[in-house]
Structure 1
Amino acid sequence: MRLEPITDSSINKNALAISHPHLYGLDEANLVKFESVLLQPEAAKAFSTMRDAAKRQGIDMAICSAYRSFDKQLSIWNAKATGKRPLLDKQHQPLHFESLSSQQIIDSILIWSALPGASRHHWGTDIDVYDPSKIDRDALQLVAAEYQANGPCHALYQWLQQHANQFGFYFPFQQGKSGVSTEEWHLSYYPVASHYTESYLCQDLYKVFEYAEFELKSPVMARLDELVNHYVKFVANVPI
């Protein structure tokens, strides 16, 4: 299948006739620069306050991933869909790419990575966090073991479980409450993200995909309603 990463100029946002292009990673106008990343303004302010509170209690916290554009998510998708980046199962064990069907590749990618246009990282409300005093960013793998007992980010995770919701953040990907596998590092700014989840429309993503070229496009389009309902709409919606 042809691999043809699109650029911003490949999608005419005006031609799409969708109300909220920022929900699909196509518009950064509502975001602000926060240190080295882009964030939704309220989320940036809340994170800064939360980080300061954690610091006062001896917990270091940094963002390793925040806003991600459609193009960036597209490059991740294409790399995994062509076997250039590894596919992992729910236990973070590598899968044998060559033995998988197209549908199995799609399902395997979606265990840990979103469709382009369907990532919460497009919104600027969602962040991946870690403890920079315990592990270098370059060494971070974003796997459960790093956040569980004896992991370098375990104390941070415990603190967030107790305090994140005081600042408007919560874990959207929880066992049995989301289509995406549990991610102990992924926080969402609930006051804004909850409205974005409600506003997100499968028919608008379909319009975006009509302009985009990406790997496994046809089998993805055939299942788009199912995939959006399971991986975008099915998230924990009450802060823990």
Structure 2
Amino acid sequence: MITQAHTLGKDESLLVECQNDFRLLPEVCEAFKLMQTAAAQDNVDIQIVSSYRSFERQLSIWQNKWSGKATLLDANENTLDSAALTDQEKILAILTWSALPGASRHHWGTDLDVYDKKAVEKSQHNFQLVCSEYDQGPCTLLNNWLNEHAIQFGFSRPYAEYKGGIAREPWHLSFQASADKMFAQLDEQALLNNLRKSNILGLESIVTNMPDIYERFVLNRGTV
């Protein structure tokens, strides 16, 4: 049974180890392996970069970006000066690329980031997980393959286009049937209550801006 704890990244009991310590829901792992095998026949080496991420891990990412220990980027992957941003601007900048702790699809065990490992290694490219690598770089063939075949294995690409909320992420896959069940459990108040119990930086501004954050980023309805 799916609970809010699962959607918030607080319960890992439904997960299995899929490949190389990356964890997913059992049905997601099975579908991924089938897709991986099919892609290999077309000389595409789909490998996981990131899968399940706990609330605590997402919180660590947030804290590092808020405190200036990690780089902030705009939607076009340009570096921002964290010290020059207001709290509201900083929240929007972080949320463009990193979900609010408790609101990440990576909490669900349904979503994963992928790349073409062999193509990256062959290119001797310093892989950074950025859009250019999928548009005109070593993961272009993978990107094109996913455009054509991912849906056949039950995977969608929730961040295929930028709508004014979360940035475009061509590497992000979601197993639609299972993700829809998790999405249905999302609750703004539960998310807020969970954040209040944490030591998240910028809490006051998050609370003030939560209606916009929830609509624009958590539901990813953006601004357009």
Q: Does 1:29 align with 2:29?
A: no
Q: Any stretches of 5+ residues in structure 1 without a counterpart?
A: 1-17
Q: Which of 79, 91, 96 does residue 94 from structure 1 map onto?
A: 79
List per-residue Cα deviations over 1:109-137 (Å, max 9, x = no partner): 11101111111000011100000102259
Distance in 1 between the 2:162 and 2:90 partners?
Answer: 22
**What is the SS of the residue equivalent to 1:219?**
helix
Q: What amino acid maps onto 1:82 in structure 2?
A: S
TM-score w.r.t. the length of structure 2 is: 0.92
Name which of structure 1's ranges 107-116 and 225-234 shifts more when overlaid on structure 2: 225-234
List per-residue Cα deviations over 1:32-69 (Å, max 9, x = no partner): 11122110111111000000000011111100000000
**What is the SS of the residue equivalent to 2:73?**
coil
**What is the SS of the residue equivalent to 1:129?**
strand
- The question of whether the paired residues in 2 share the 8 Å contact of 1:173 and 1:235 is answered with no
- The question of whether the paired residues in 2 share the 8 Å contact of 1:32 and 1:39 is answered with yes
Aligned-residue sequence identity (percent) comes to 40
- The question of whether the paired residues in 2 share the 8 Å contact of 1:25 and 1:68 is answered with yes
Residue matched to 1:144: 131
Residue 226 of structure 1, CA deviation: 2.1
**What is the SS of the residue equivalent to 1:146?**
helix
Residue matched to 1:9: none
Residue matched to 2:49: 64
1:72-221 matched pairs, under 5 angstroms: 72-136=57-121, 139-149=126-136, 151-175=137-161, 179-221=165-207
Residue 76 of structure 1, CA deviation: 0.4
Residue 174 of structure 1, CA deviation: 2.7
Distance in 2 between the 1:177 and 1:102 partners?
Answer: 22
TM-score w.r.t. the length of structure 1 is: 0.86
Q: Any stretches of 5+ residues in structure 2 without a counterpart?
A: none
RMSD, aligned CA: 1.9
Q: What amino acid maps onto 2:24 in structure 1?
A: L
Distance in 2 between the 1:30 and 1:72 partners?
Answer: 18
Relative to structure 1, is the Cα distance of residues 92 and 51 closer, same or farther in structure 2, using a 3 angstrom cutoff? same
- The question of whether the paired residues in 2 share the 8 Å contact of 1:49 and 1:167 is answered with yes
Residue 235 of structure 1, CA deviation: 6.0
